[in-house]
Amino acid sequence: MTEAPILEIRNLSKTFSQPVSLGGRITNLFGGKNRPVNVQAVQDVDITVESGEVVGIVGESGCGKSTVARMLAGISTPSGGSVRWRGKDVAEMTAKEHRAFDLGVQMIFQDPFASLNPRMRIVDIIGEAAVKHGRIRRREQRDYVGSLMEKVGLSSAYIDRFPHQFSGGQRQRIGIARALAVNPNLIICDESVAALDVSIQAQVLNLFMDLRDELDLTYLFISHNLGVVEHISDRVVIMYLGRVVEVAPTDALYGDPNHPYTRLLIDQVPSLEAGKRDYAPIAGELPSPLNPPPGCAFNPRCPWATERCRTERPALREIAPGRLSACHLNDTA
């Protein structure tokens, strides 16, 4: 490999724990056995992102995909594992290097109504970080913000407006301009088009692709919408209950899914071509992460589960060049 991957995460884990309540602690004094409740939201996740790539992360609610994003963006701290940025471990970075990493990774959120401060004008929402981090001088702010607004398809005449004066699609563009203001290399989109109407969603997806070409961006695109991910991604990571179950190039994943969960998930995607058809629904629901099933986490819902799946957890292994899957069925085949 000539160049280190832009982002490499290894064994990344996050445990949320709920401390014992006051009542629980009092009963503990009298011999109670209340322990803190731990939820393993993310367990041993490995993802490698090459520069210029679009990597999609797909999974149902509660699978830990947003928790991964929030750890990468520095919103929450990992409980374990390592993150390497351009080959350098983030934990060992100097303050200056860490600043470069923080600015290099920017996030675009799901809800364009909740992610903009309603009391700030657009000129400050977009320009504040760039001024603060010394990327531009304060007197250059208006011109800089104006050019960013034009870049994301907003008229710079709106520079002094407040967020409530914009529609959902326009606000999402403001969120994009804010992320771009500090010249990031990697953009994390956490369900960034989920709240938008179909026609506006198409506009924003096109904007993402134009910006990628123009600014040489890398995207980590998190979504539960398989159609959107198929459209935009080069590679796709499928997560289930806090773990990665399959990684593959988009064509391979959609054309020939390996893991049973991926197979069933892709069957569920409503599509225009399918017309009137019968859905063969995945039985059951996502198990609670508080009490994950032993063995393979998907075994209670898997139609092909064997005795081994109920006891032993499958490791994520390479099944073909560039393809990883965590399933015991690959051993027998």
Residues that bind other proteins (CB under 8 A): 60-61, 167-170, 197-203, 205-206, 209, 224-228, 230-232, 250-251, 254, 264-265, 267-272, 274-282, 284-286
Q: Closest distance between other proteins and the C-beta of residue 213, in Å?
A: 11
Nearer to other proteins, 84 or 173 (CB): 173
Q: Closest distance between other proteins and the C-beta of residue 238, in Å?
A: 12
User: Buried (b) or exposed (e) across 9-20, using 16+ Cβ within 10 A?
Assistant: beebbbeeeeeb
Q: Closest distance between other proteins and the C-beta of residue 275, in Å?
A: 6
Nearer to other proteins, 124 or 267 (CB): 267
Nearer to other proteins, 15 or 203 (CB): 203
Nearer to other proteins, 10 or 254 (CB): 254
Q: Closest distance between other proteins and the C-beta of residue 283, in Å?
A: 8
User: Buried (b) or exposed (e) across 30-51, using 16+ Cβ within 10 A?
Assistant: eeeeeeeeebbbbbbbbbbbbe
| CB contact set of 324 (below 8 Å; sequence gap of 6+) | 244, 246, 247, 248, 316, 317, 318
Nearer to other proteins, 134 or 284 (CB): 284
Q: Closest distance between other proteins and the C-beta of residue 288, in Å?
A: 9
Q: Closest distance between other proteins and the C-beta of residue 173, in Å?
A: 11
Nearer to other proteins, 135 or 263 (CB): 263
